[in-house]
Structure formats: structure tokens, C-alpha cells
Amino acid sequence: MAKELTSRSENYSQWYNELVVKADLAENSAVRGCMVIKPYGYAIWEKMQAELDRMFKETGHVNAYFPLFIPKSFFSKEASHVEGFAKECAVVTHYRLKNDPNGKGIVVDPDAKLEEELIVRPTSETIIWHTYKNWIQSYRDLPILCNQWANVVRWEMRTRLFLRTAEFLWQEGHTAHATKQEALEETERMVNVYADFAENFMALPVIKGAKSENERFAGALETYSIEALMQDGKALQSGTSHFLGQNFAKAFDVKFANRDGKDEYVWATSWGVSTRLMGALIMAHSDDNGLVLPPKLAPFQVVIIPIYRKDEQLAEISSKVDEVVAKLKAKGISVKYDSLDTKKPGWKFAEYELKGVPVRLAIGPRDLENGTVEVARRDTLTKEVVGLDNIDQYVADLLDDIQQNIYKKAFDYRTEHTTPVDTYEELKEVLNTKGGFALAHWDGTAETEQKIKEETKGTIRCIPFDGVKEEGKCIYSGKPSSQRVLFALAY
């Protein structure tokens, strides 16, 4: 096969980079750090969007759209926010090009300089809270539960397709509430939505928890996240939900008259997932033969390949395949029939394996005689010959089984790679050799976390919501701790 991949054991990072490109998911563009999402990759992202959008709407949210540009002065209004984002902003300074007077192509027109520079949004809290000021007068205007699907830009120095790109696609929810309690509930609701999506659609087990202060979003009082484990033992933060307190309301002077007619500042949350989820999906499940896609997010769930020598055989097979396709579609299963004659079946087998199509049906003249079809499943790479009569139900059940099996495999991997450690030496040992999550006691201080990060590169991924309360001692400082936290090397 022409598109052979580096194996995971040989070089995991290279395996990932090659897979993204060879499976036609994305590629680097002419613009530093910006990617092109190719049709096959985009089709997966569209499936993710559709499910998430449905879940957001079911929890009462509506979509809206806010400007791409943010006036520079808006950034300065929330101190920790500007600190977090100023270093990686694309800045628009001019609004016109012109012909070079010296005849050397086109140049920026110096007469078209903006009075105030515009920042390409890295996230939209500032422009949105500036807007909300006009939308909110009284408690009757609350809550506001808006989401936005958009592109954002963060001028990252080291980029990798899907995982860290200068421009990426995401959704950002921005909600406004009358009470702290309600905003906290919303923050938790949305991290639960993300976890639900990751587990039930991406087949990706995640750990929900709170971020330590060091790892919080710039401007948040609390950041909750879902953390997933990749096959190289590194963690990947896959979604975050922030309780912003009244920080942005104060920065943009957004008050509401409460039921007693008194003015109060509004409470805020924001939450987002991005095309980074594509990276998580790819890295969590795929193998040395290529992508492994959970059926619920596969652009097509079944591919059918005819095996034949003569054109008459193809005609007979195609006629039978049409029946099979109709039966599968009636069950809501998406199917591609690849009868193109410019490629051999062997090439097609490898190609769809690389692209992670969950189920492959191959059908030849002997199958026609016997009323059978060869069914191959991508996750286990096993094959079976099956009767055509109940093929629709068989495939439907198989897709369910694959979805569950992929989840179970990732879950078992994570279980094997979650290690309680009681000493700093053990932590280092886990991070350096076995990999995965290490559960350790921590004294709760930013200083200790920073020291551990500097010495081991390991970070606190989260303080798990469902962690057992137990007395212990910080593995670094020996100070008392009431709960283990999750350490890992991370993307």
C-alpha cells in the first residue's frame, strides 16, 4: 500500500501527523499555523457540530453571531484576560492595499491606517459582554444563553494539525445570569454536556474536574474541563467550561435591576470545544493501519466493494448491492458503494481502512450464488461471511457493537494507565515510563504545582469531581491534602 504509516510504537507523533494528512483529514496551508480542513475531515467535524448543537439547544441555548474583530481597548478592560491573550493576537492595522508607486506589486496603503487597531478574536468574552450591556436591564432579561459557532485566532508559535493551530473552529457559549448559583449550575451543566458528547459519540472516556488556579482560563474564577487519555499516555484537555463570576460584567459595566429594583452585576459563564476534538478522536482510537472512527461520527458507516473480473459480473453485483444499500439506508445507516473501476479491490480495502470506515462489505460472484457477503469490522480487523437476508439488522447491531467496543478499549486503556502514586519518585516514574494519569495528593498551592511542572513537565489536569475524599500528604511538600488530583504529561 502506497500510503503506509509510521507505526505508533516507532514514532507516535509522526504517526499522528502522517495519519491526519494521508486519511485526508487536514493539511497545512500556505499561511503559517493555519490548516486546511479537507472534505473527509470536515464531514466528521460536521457530525460533531450537529450533535453538539442539538445538545446545546436541548439545554435551552440559542445561537447568535458576534464580530470577528475586537477593538484593542476592549482587551485591557479585564486585566487577567489581556494578560492571557495579548501575546498571541493577530492585529489588523490597515484597511486597504494599493499599487506600489514604484511598480512592485501591491503594498499596504499607509493612508488607510485604523485609528484603533482591531484584534482578530482569540475568544469573544470582551465583545460579547460589551454587547450584553445593551441587552440587559432587568432580571427579566436574564438568563441569556447564547452560543456561537465561529473561527478564532491565537498566534501559537508551535502548531500541529487540529491540536494547536493559529486559526481553529470552535463553539463558544456565553451566558449571563442573575445569581452566582445559577451561573455555577450552568458551568457544571455544560461540562456535563461535553462529557456526555465525548463518551456517547466520540467513544472517548473523560474525567471531569476543576482546573487548578494555574491552569484556569484567563478571567475565570473556576474552570471545569474534560480530560481524555491518548494512546501515548499523554492527556488531552478536550473541552472547558468557565465560571467567570462578575469579572466581565464589572469590566463592561453590565448591571441588572433585581426583583427589589436594586442594581447588581451580572454573573457569567463561557464554555467551548474546538476542532481540537478531531485530534482527540484520531489519537484515542486509531491504529497502525489508519483511522478508527466511532460509527456515530463516521461520514459513512459502511463501504461496499464489488469483487469481479468481468463487466457482466459487476452489473449483477451492483443490482444486488442496490437492494442492500436500500435496506441499510432504511435503517438510518450511511453507506458508500465504491464501484469505480480505476482502482483494484486491494487498494480500496487499504484506503477505507486508512479512513476508518467502521464496516466494509465485499461482495463477489460466489457471494451472489450463496446469498452471502463478507463483512469486515475496522476496529478489530476481523472478517466474517454473513447471509444477505438479514444484513441490515446484522450491520445495525455490528455498528452498535463497534461503538461500544471502541469505547471499552479506550476505557480499559485508561484504567490500566491510571496509577495512584504516594511519593514524588513514583510520580516521576509514572510520567517518565508508564505514562497516563497519576493520582496524587497535592497541597493545593500554585507554587508546588509550578515546581512539579518545571521538574517533571507533568501538570495537574484537573481535580476530579468524583475523586474520593481522603486524608493524605502532598507528594512534593508533605503538607496535608484532602483529595488526590490528576497529574499527567499533556498536549
Q: Which residues bind a copy of itself (CB under 8 A)?
A: 27, 29-31, 34-39, 42-43, 45-46, 62-76, 82, 86-99, 105-106, 108, 117-120, 127, 130-131, 134, 140, 146, 150-151, 153, 155, 167, 169, 342
Report the residue number, 73 or 390, with the smaller CB distance to a copy of itself.
Answer: 73
DSSP symbols for 420-442: E--SHHHHHHIIIII-SEEEEE-
Report the residue number, 131 or 459, with the smaller CB distance to a copy of itself.
Answer: 131
Which is it for strands 437-441 and 480-488: parallel, antiparallel or unpaired?
Answer: antiparallel
Q: What gap in Å lies between CA 265 and CA 117, rounded to an integer? A: 29
Report the residue number, 145 or 391, with the smaller CB distance to a copy of itself.
Answer: 145
Distances (CA, A) of 372 to 34, 293, 323, 387, 388: 47, 26, 13, 4, 5
Report the residue number, 62 or 315, with the smaller CB distance to a copy of itself.
Answer: 62
* Angle of CA points 301, 278, 49, to nearest 5°: 70
For residue 345, the minimal CB distance to a copy of itself (Å) is: 17
For residue 29, the minimal CB distance to a copy of itself (Å) is: 5
Report the residue number, 122 or 435, with the smaller CB distance to a copy of itself.
Answer: 122
Cell numbers 507505526 correspond to: 7
For residue 163, the minimal CB distance to a copy of itself (Å) is: 16
DSSP 7: P
Report the residue number, 66 or 465, with the smaller CB distance to a copy of itself.
Answer: 66
For residue 109, the minimal CB distance to a copy of itself (Å) is: 9
For residue 263, the minimal CB distance to a copy of itself (Å) is: 19
Distances (CA, A) of 334 to 16, 85, 302, 358: 27, 42, 6, 11
Report the residue number, 2 or 106, with the smaller CB distance to a copy of itself.
Answer: 106
Q: What gap in Å lies between CA 336 and CA 59, rounded to an integer? A: 34
Chain-centroid distance, C-alpha 304? 29
Q: What gap in Å lies between CA 262 and CA 259, rounded to an integer? A: 7
For residue 355, the minimal CB distance to a copy of itself (Å) is: 14
For residue 477, the minimal CB distance to a copy of itself (Å) is: 33
Of 204, 206, 255, 212, residue with least CA distance to 226: 206
DSSP 265: E
Of 226, 203, 473, 452, residue with least CA distance to 483: 473
Report the residue number, 32 or 331, with the smaller CB distance to a copy of itself.
Answer: 32
For residue 417, the minimal CB distance to a copy of itself (Å) is: 33
Give the three-state DSSP class for 204.
Answer: coil
For residue 18, the minimal CB distance to a copy of itself (Å) is: 16
Q: What gap in Å lies between CA 296 and CA 356, rounded to an integer? A: 12
* Angle of CA points 249, 61, 162, to nearest 5°: 90
Cell numbers 481597548 correspond to: 73
Report the residue number, 53 or 374, with the smaller CB distance to a copy of itself.
Answer: 53
